[in-house]
Amino acid sequence: MNALLQQAQQMQEQLQRTQEELAEKIVEGSVGGVTVQVNGVGELVGVTFRTGIVDGADEESLTDLGDMVVAAYRDAKARADAQAGQALGPLAGGLGGLSGGPGGGAAGGLPGGGSGQFGF
């Protein structure tokens, strides 16, 4: 029983280290002159606009700009989730039936399970 608890504690520590490393990584997504940066856990950390992509006096251009920001964020978030899934995949495998992956398990039914913050 002690060995199992020790293994669980080691996995928890490794998970925390991996999450901290992911939080330091920056991933970009771009759409139509809008580039957003998210960290490895999906938090928005920056937005840049190519000069002249929108006429500020035109309401439709501003709406289009908003749509581009959302699309660029989704692109960056998908990339961050993919990186997180790769980084955390070995840890999820160590959870046996709890990973929500092949073999089923509880995590798939949790909020965010399967497509959540860490993509697993």
CATH topology of domain 24-79: Ybab; Chain: A; (3.30.1310)
Domain ranges of the chain: 24-79
Pairing relation of β-strands 26-31 and 44-49? unpaired
Can you tell me the distance from the alpha carbon of 47 to that of 30, in angstroms, rounded to the nearest whole number?
A: 10
pLDDT at 11: 87
pTM of this prediction exceeds 0.75: no
Return phi, psi of residue 54, to 5°: -145, 145
**pLDDT tens over the chain, length 120 residues:** 888 888 888 888 988 888 888 889 999 999 999 999 999 888 999 999 999 887 777 888 888 999 999 999 999 999 999 988 888 887 766 555 444 444 333 333 333 333 343 333
